[in-house]
Amino acid sequence: MFSTLRNVTHLPRSISYAQAVEQLHNHELLIRLDPEYASHETLPSDPATPEAKIYKITDHMNALPAGLWDTKVTFEAHMTDLDDGILWFIKAPLGLTQKTTWRCLRTESLEGDRGANEEEGEWSLVEDVEIKANRMLVNTVKGKCEDNWRGTHSRFLAQLKEKIGAA
């Protein structure tokens, strides 16, 4: 089974495309935005996909059905910088895969997509997620994504504003 999600946050006028994409290429920042983040380490690159950086990430998952997974879940994340953002490919236990892109796109091209920021500028952060696994896992992971995206985007935006303010 699979499921897809799209989450959009309009970026303030004060944030440029280049500034947003630079932060989207900051793997350390993105990994740590996860509200369930516990730890991570860098793994050697795969010669077949040298452009992808590989990380072993451990999350503290306290909302999974009892007994399905331990409270700590470790998975591989392959992160590839794109011209307009980043591609994540996650391989987790029990056959779960998740493909996520975070891209900086023109706000005007997103007609109809809801935004989580009232101060709408020229650019938007667009997160597209595709989850593949058995029905129970898909529903659990999708629910977590739906519950957490606003906070994750908000923390990304706060880090971006902080970096711009320090520049």
**Residue 139, amino acid:** N
Report if pTM > 0.85: yes
Residue 132's domain spans which residues?
Answer: 2-166
Question: Number of helices and strands (H, E) in the chain?
Answer: 3, 7
Q: Please list the ranges in the chain whose pLDDT falls under 50.
A: none
**pLDDT score recorded for residue 108:** 85
Residue 66: what pLDDT?
58
Q: Are 54 and 78 in contact (CB under 8 A)?
A: yes
Q: What is the rounded CA–CA span in Å between residue 64 and residue 77?
A: 20
At residue 78, the pLDDT reads 98
Distance CA 29, CA 25 (A): 9
Query: What is the count of structural domains for the chain?
Result: 1
In this prediction, residue 99 carries a pLDDT of: 98
Residue-wise pLDDT tens digits, 56-68: 999 987 655 555 5
Query: Any idea what the CATH number is for the domain that residue 96 is in?
Result: 3.30.530.20
pLDDT, averaged across the chain:
90
